[in-house]
Amino acid sequence: MCGIVGYTGKREAGRVLIEGLKKLEYRGYDSAGVALQENGQLIVTKAAGSVADLEKALNDQFKEVRVGVGHTRWATHGPPTDLNAHPHSSVSGKIVVVHNGIIENHRSLRRRLTEEAGYRFNSETDSEVLAHLIEYYYQDDLLEAVQRAVADVEGSYALVAACSEEPDLLVCARQDSPLIIGLGDGENFVASDIPALLAHTRKTCIMEDGEFASITPDKVIFYDADSLPVEKEVLQITWNQEAAEKGGYDHFMLKEIMEQPAAVRETLRQRVDVSSGLVELQELDLTPEQILNLDKIYIIACGTAYHAGLVGKLAIEKLAGIPVEVDVASEFRYRTPVFAENQLAVVISQSGETADTLAGLRMARARGLKVLAITNVVGSSVSREADQVLYTWAGPEIAVASTKAYVTQLVALYLVAIYLAQIRGTLEAAKAAELVKGLLGMPDQLKQVLSEESVAAIQAYCDYLVKWDHAFFIGRNLDYPVAMEGALKLKEISYIHAEACAAGELKHGPLALIEKGVPVIALVTQEAILDKTLSNIQVVNARGGAVFAITREDFKDVSRQVDSVFNLPRVNDVLAPILSVVSTQLIAYYTAVGRGSSVDKPRNLAKSVTVE
């Protein structure tokens, strides 16, 4: 999520780090910092804002320094401030660390280090604990201290540590967060992403989970999880800068679609107890009594986030038995909802800056409702103004069309639904545990939906769709909001007119538009109403419509009744939207590519809509 650069060699380290951080800046980070090894001291400079602000703060000092680490932060724990920016220093200043990822047990480690060693913490971040923990174990060997420290850590990390007593050395460790070593001649590099390395070297080694590396100007040694040295393959990078920023994909949108398994895993992290099968939402600041008394929830959002809200409504009503109203924020603010006691408002916004959503939030608060925000951006207006925030940890989303943020919004809403249900006693423990297990299995199921074979099947369908100017998406129950999201995504980036229709509503009007060959994408994932959806499909077939069904692999009947199918893995009805929507994202993407549209920046649209 954040950006890491490290250097040890013969050049001016500060310059190499600033240049590298600038190459990562396209993702929109919110603060940055470097630590430079100077005369037995690690000098840390940080700045909230852009890398240019950091460059100004550095002011071309430390020109003789040859070793250092740098970081650009995208806030997760604590707002973007100088203090929360990386690198973080240990108590004595002997150790510095830059870190990407999330330390799940940072609270207990913090407590332990404060109580046992009397350490004091300066920031609100989970990452700071790493610097202190490494110092705690340090006995003249940085590699060993890092190895012992990460053995105590639960969570994900790409980290680079430096120690003032071993001035040439950088030590790296990786678990669930990328880290790449760049090999030079008398100099070596480390970075979280390839773009930061390209100006200096194309010879790289990709670190694997559980591995460590010690880097000096002349040598890089890799170690496996058992601390035994390992040989690594050297990869020659052939991408240009632009391709590297997109991780080798043609567009940010595709990169972000492919990042969804990891984004879902991050959003679930720390929020479910695997052993008990319970959801634990520390962020939700409602007493059990308040939850038991909840009479109504308003969900307020725009566009894609609104579609997530519609899925949330169905899940909350089904699992927790609380009535939910979902509003497009621009409508909510001008209607007169009947506010009363015991109501909660939930606002959903990837950016946290959408003007209409903010206005809805303010209106709800002004009328005395508690507001829970679901957002992807720490420190955003929505997160500052809401009473409580549930962050989606999708990482920065660059493509205008939202994909990974949407899927993580779904995950957050499912967590809320299950949590409310647990407390209200509306869901049997075994059913709750089954859903939690289903959520935990989503990253792997998403990988299946994103496999080469699946993508090829979608591409083959898009060869058909690309020639049409109109398309329909149909579905019932939880498939309906997914149909709406699929239609929005298709029109947004391919400029094909796409309409979503509740499958049962076709006969009340839209059916008049179905004629021979008209593309109809049918979402068929709800086992409880499978027959109903299939009979709606028959009606389309009878008019010559060409039905492409997105369904479950175990719904064998579906393929016999449609022109073509895309099979999803077997999944619980409630959770199916997480998988099915990804196939609609791929449809939109490959159709847009086929039509030569500007995928990442569609015409007339902006990533963050801060005007009414």
Catalytic machinery residues:
2, 607
- Beta carbon of residue 347, minimum distance to ligand F6R (angstroms, whole number): 9
Interface with ligand F6R includes 243 (CB under 6 A)?
Answer: no
**Given the complex with ligand F6R, which of 184 and 360 has the nearer CB atom?**
360
Interface with ligand F6R includes 304 (CB under 6 A)?
Answer: yes
**Given the complex with ligand F6R, which of 514 and 588 has the nearer CB atom?**
588
What are the backbone dihedrals phi and psi of residue 29, each rounded to the nearest 5 degrees, phi first? -80, 170
Return the closest-CA partner of residue 412 out of 349, 362, 463, 456: 349
How far from each other are the two terminal CA atoms of the chain, in whole angstroms? 30
Restricting to residues 491-550, which ones interact with ligand F6R according to CB under 6 A?
A: 492
- Whole-number Å distance between alpha carbons of 21 and 373: 31
Interface with ligand F6R includes 402 (CB under 6 A)?
Answer: yes
Task: Choose one: 152-160, 162-170, 300-308, 467-475; the region binding ligand F6R (CB under 6 A).
Answer: 300-308
How many residues touch ligand F6R under the rule CB under 6 A: the total is 14
List the Cα angle 500/501/506 in 5-degree steps.
145
**Given the complex with ligand F6R, which of 291 and 399 has the nearer CB atom?**
399
Q: HSE (CB half, 13 Å, CA atoms) of 137? A: 17
Q: In residues, how long is the chain? A: 612
Contact mark string toward ligand F6R, 340..369, x via CB under 6 A: ---------xxx--x--x------------
- Beta carbon of residue 150, minimum distance to ligand F6R (angstroms, whole number): 35
Interface with ligand F6R includes 372 (CB under 6 A)?
Answer: no
- Beta carbon of residue 310, minimum distance to ligand F6R (angstroms, whole number): 13
Residue choice 6, 68, 303, 545 for contact with ligand F6R (CB under 6 A): 303
Interface with ligand F6R includes 396 (CB under 6 A)?
Answer: no
- Beta carbon of residue 313, minimum distance to ligand F6R (angstroms, whole number): 17
**Given the complex with ligand F6R, which of 423 and 588 has the nearer CB atom?**
588
Helix (H) and strand (E) counts for the chain?
Answer: 21, 27
- Beta carbon of residue 594, minimum distance to ligand F6R (angstroms, whole number): 19
Task: Choose one: 57-65, 97-105, 118-126, 302-310; the region binding ligand F6R (CB under 6 A).
Answer: 302-310
Return the closest-CA partner of residue 360 out of 326, 324, 312, 389: 326
**Given the complex with ligand F6R, which of 130 and 523 has the nearer CB atom?**
523
Interface with ligand F6R includes 302 (CB under 6 A)?
Answer: yes
Strands (E), 84-194: 88-89, 95-100, 157-163, 170-175, 180-183, 188-191
Please give the full DSSP string across 176-232, using - where no structure is assigned: BS--EEEE-SS-EEEESSGGGTTTT-SEEEEPPTT-EEEE-SS-EEEE-TTS-EE--
Amino acid in position 49: G
- Whole-number Å distance between alpha carbons of 77 and 109: 15
Strand-strand pairing, 546-552 and 519-524:
parallel
Binding site for ligand F6R (CB under 6 A): 302-305, 349-351, 354, 357, 401-402, 492, 608-609
